[in-house]
Every structure is written in structure tokens, then in C-alpha cells.
Structure 1
Amino acid sequence: MKKTAFVFPGQSSQRIGMLTDLYRESERVRHTFEEASDAVGLDIARICLEGHHGSLQDISISAPVIVTAGIATFRHLQSQFGITPAVMAGHSLGEYTALACAGVFTLEEVLPAVVFRSRLAQRVMEEEQGVMTVITKLNISEVEELCRHMRRRGGKVWTSCLNAESQVCVGGREADLEILEQQVLKMGGSLRRLIGNAPYHTPLMSTMIEEFGNYLQSCQLRTPQFPVVANVSTRPYTAFSIIDNLLLQLQHSVKWHHTIDYIQRQHIHTFIELGSGQILSRLLRQHSKTIEIYNYETAADRNRLASSLSQLAEVSA
């Protein structure tokens, strides 16, 4: 197998019916859901397969569901194909999934951590009236300049996720973000407000840093077994940078566009998206036409991956 990157999505990847086929087919996936349910006191399988839209918009529920989906698909991939990743990366919340799959957290540790993170973020969202919006059809520099212009006038808005050259998330106070959104529309951009999302990856999250940092200090964090590229530095984690990177990630932009650049510079052009949905697969296709992408939740892509591995085995035999 070519050198391969495993990538894990974050918020907005959840949906009713996620991982239905894999759950029905795989005892390993079902067991992972059971472990997750025990870890956080939620019926993860029922939420994924039957849950209503409202529950999946509650970040303290969607966060453990999203991370569980990533871990379950990673375990299924390992059991079916035994592929060792050359590198891993997770988008926003997905960074916790990547770290868990790399052995930094156990499932029983990571799920309560992301629930606690989400509850602190909900408090920030209420206190600061914080929200997030996805902007498309404008480039990164244009959106960054709009945010700087707003801040010079006292507004509290920042770029929060640099997803692609023409897709940027912006977070901040709702009243300020509404003004920025009008400017975006005047410039020909498009908008999509993220319902129920806290203003992650902006300085508004600074009020939860001490409390969440203390929580992470109480966790038994381990050295990553595989390289995991951090959202903010776009460089691999070390055993000594885990807490610092996770706290930086709360207050600073997710540099996803730059993360993919870094991975490609390591001569890695094959990516497997684990977890639910195809958010990262779509971003990867925007990023480069030369990237080979497998979306693991999709049966057709799992079959394509199996065929590719079979052909490689025949060549090397």
C-alpha cells in the first residue's frame, strides 16, 4: 500500500443514520458503540441510527458520537485491512479522534474529555453570544482582511477554520458576525450558519482554557503511536506538546488547508477519511486533483480499497 494518511472529520459530520451499514455488518463496530455508551452514559447506537436532528445539534451529544464513529471505522479498517497510517490528522474535534486512534487517549478517556470540552464551550457560547459561519466563494486572504477590518472597529470576529482556499469558517459574537456576513454577500460570497456551534478556534474560548487545561492535566496521556499533525502548528505532535496543542486549538484557527499541504510535502497522496460523512473527502478533492481518496463509510470505497490492496498483493507475490 502507498503511504497513506488517515483523516477524521469534526463537527457537522454527524447525521441520522450514520454508520448504519457498518454497524449492522460488523461486531467490532457494534462493540465500539457499546463501549462508548458505557463511557458517557448515552445510547450511542440509538443516537446514530435513530436519533432526531435536534439531539445531534447539541454539541455535548454530537461530540462523543462523532469521535465514536471515527474510532469505530478506524478499528474496522485495522481489522479488515491492517493498514498502518504514515500520518493522521483530524479536523477540529476530529483531532481528538486522531489522538485516540494513535493511542494518546483510550476510548474511555477521550469521550468524557470531549463531552467536558463541549459543555464548557456551550457556556462560552451563551456568555459571549458566540456563533460560527462557513464562507465560500471568497479566498482566505479576503476573509482574513474582512475580519481584521471588523476588529479594527471593535468587532469580535476571527477566521476559525481555514478549510480550503475558497472555504473559511468564521467565529465570533453574533452581532458582529451578522455585519460581516452582509459584507461577504456584497462581495459575492456565500454563507452557511453553523447551528448550535460554539465559536471554537477563536479568542472567545479563552475563558475555558484554565478549566479544560486542568482536566487534561488529570488525564493519562501517552506518546502517539503514529504521527498526528496538529491543527494549529501543522506539524506532528510530540509526547510533550499534547496539552499545549489542544489548548492552542481552542483559541486559534484550524489550518486544515495547510495541514494537507504539509502531508503532501511528505510525499503522501493517498487519504482515507474515517468516521461519518464526506466533508473531508470533498475538501481534499478541492485541494488537489492528484490526491487519491477513500471515504471509508462508503461501501463502494471500501470495495475499491480492497481491490487496490488485492492488486498490490498480486504484484508483490
Structure 2
Amino acid sequence: MGVECARRDAAARLLFEEASSILNFDLFNLLLKGPQEKLNETQIAQPALLTASVALFTSWKRAHNVEIDCCAGLSLGEYSALCCSGVLSFAAAVELTAKRGALMQQAAAANPGEMYAILGLSQQQTEAVCAAAAAAARSSSRKEGGVYCGVANYLCPGNYAVSVSRSAAAALQQAAAAAAAKRCVRLQVSGAFHSPLMAPAAAGLAAAIAAADFQTPQTPVLLNVDAQIHTNPQVIKQKLIQQWQQSMELLGRLGMEESFEFGPGGILSKLNSKINPHVRTVRVE
């Protein structure tokens, strides 16, 4: 996760060192040696992913004479996009993602939950599966409150991320199977993100964002919450507190011919190839 980039590029390595200084632990060493369980903690994973993606972007941009028309990121990746577009300084982005991760970790401890990728169903079918799972879990526990299951991310047609209370996770898997989903795969995250179960984190994150210095972007930013391109730093700040498929569809309509994904995994490249099959997508890792 950015390790090879830092090894071959001194400037990228400096970003890891700056992040380590802010976080008060050796981020590069943790990425290199683990343990993986530590990296899976969202309070660690979020600033780590941000640092890796920004390092990859800055290293690649120095090596290529390419003009960037727009920056976008999915979920945590929006913070990387804001940094790469000049809205946030790298230090501010590290601080915000570390705060975001810590708040979400606390919310996950208070409201245990999980996330799943459901493949092969339509949006309406996936939403129906979530409703059925929540109803089944409430019925079995005989409780109206405390159970949640809903779509967290509309990634691309036939691929949706679902957040669910831990008590309803088994019901979700059963409902997905009953609906003939191709797959229902648990994601390796430490909570039910992008859901009401994260509500305890909202106030603290809003305060941290409000206090951060947002600059006018050097490159326009496309935000997930409304799938619109923004250049006003105050509007970006407001929107950040509040979906991916709609964002990519907009870029396709605006004539996007080539996209670049910075960071590990290549998931967004696969999603974009389904949303915009005519667009050339390049992975940089």
C-alpha cells in the first residue's frame, strides 16, 4: 500500500515521514511489517490509505506531463481527492482522516456492525433484501429499535455495499441468498460505515471539518453526495459532512476519456469499467 512508491521516490517517502510525525507512529514500518490486524483498524487504515494514495498521485504527476481535469474519490478517497486538488494541505488531510477514523472506531464500538458487498442484484432488489433482513432480525429479537440494514454505497449497477447491525448480519446473508444474489461478501472493515450506526461520529467530524482550512481547488472536485463538480471551498466543506455511481456517470456524460486510480486494490477501476465501458481506466499503484 504505497510502500514500493515510497521506496523508489524520495519525495513520496517524505510524505510518509510527515504523516508519521503527525500520527506519532512509524506509518511506513507498519505498512511494511504489519500486523494486518492493526492496519484493519479504521483509525489506522484511514490516514494510511490517504498517505499512500496522495504519495502515488504526487509521484505519478511529477513523472507525467498530464493535465488533470477533475479529482474525485470514493468515501475516504474524497479526502485524497481534496488534497490532490489543493483544497486541503497534506498535513490537514492526515489530521482529518485520523480524526475521522478515531471517531468512526468509537461509533463502531458503540454500535457493532458489518459491511457486505452484494453482487448480481438491481438497486431495487438490494434495497428489498436490506428491508427483509432488518424485518427478520427485528422479528427474531422481538425488538423494533437497534437493528439496521441498508445500502451504504451505490458503487455500480449490480454492485452495492450494505451496512448492517451485527445482529442482522445473518439475516442479510439469508435474504441475499433467497434473492439469488451472485455473492454476498463481508468486507474487511471494522464497522458499519456510511450508515446511521455511525451517527455518534457525526458531530465530532463536523466540528473537525469546520475548523480545517479549505482552499479554492486548483483542480475541480466531484463530490459523491450530490454527484456535482465544485470549486467553492465553503460549499465543499459543507458537502463533505453529508454516491459513487452517480459521480462516474456524470463524468462520462461530460466527455471523460481517461481516468486514473491511485491506491491499492483496483476496485474503482473495475467499477468504472462497468459504469463507463468506453473510458480508458489506468491503475497507478
User: How does 1:1-317 map onto structure 2 within 5 Å?
Assistant: 18-150=1-133, 154=144, 155-189=147-181, 190-237=183-230, 238-248=232-242, 255-297=243-285
Shift of 1:264: 0.6
Instruction: Determine if contact 2:249/2:276 at 8 Å carries over to the other structure.
Output: no
Report deviation, 1:89. 0.8
**How many angstroms apart in 2 are the aligned matches of 1:49 and 1:41?**
17
Letter in 1 for 2:24: G
TM-score for both structures, normalised by structure 1: 0.81
Separation (CA, whole Å) in 1 of partners of 2:87 and 2:164: 31
Q: How many residues align?
A: 274
Q: Which has the higher contact order (CA 8 A, sep 6+)?
A: 1
- Per the TM alignment, residue 281 of structure 1 is displaced from its structure 2 partner at its CA by 1.3
Percent identity of equivalent pairs: 25
Tell me, which stretches of 5 or more residues in structure 1 are unaligned? 1-17, 249-254, 298-317
Distance 2:192 2:224 in 1: 16
More moved, 95-104 vs 46-55: 46-55
Contact 2:43 2:104 in 1 (8 A): no
- Normalized against structure 2, the TM-score is what? 0.90
Q: 1:243 to 1:150 in 2, by over 3 A?
A: farther
Distance 2:189 2:244 in 1: 22
Task: Describe the superposition over 1:135-168 as per-residue Cα deviations: whole angstroms up to 9, x where unpaired.
Answer: 1121222111222445566441110011111111
Shift of 1:257: 1.3
Amino acid in the other structure paired with 1:283: L
Displacement of 1:33 after TM fit?
A: 1.2
Contact 1:147–1:180 (8 Å) recurs in 2: yes
Q: SS of the residue aligned with 1:63? A: helix
> Could you tell me whether the CA contact under 8 Å between 1:102 and 1:226 is conserved in 2?
yes
Contact kept, 8 Å, 2:130 with 2:150, in 1: the verdict is: yes
In structure 2, C-alpha distance between the alignment counterparts of 1:231 and 1:197, rounded to whole Å: 22
Q: Following the alignment from structure 2 to structure 1, what is the Cα–Cα distance between the partners of residues 187 and 211?
A: 32
Q: Hey, what's the Cα distance between the residues in 2 that align with 1:234 and 1:83?
A: 24
- SS of alignment partner, residue 236 of structure 1: strand
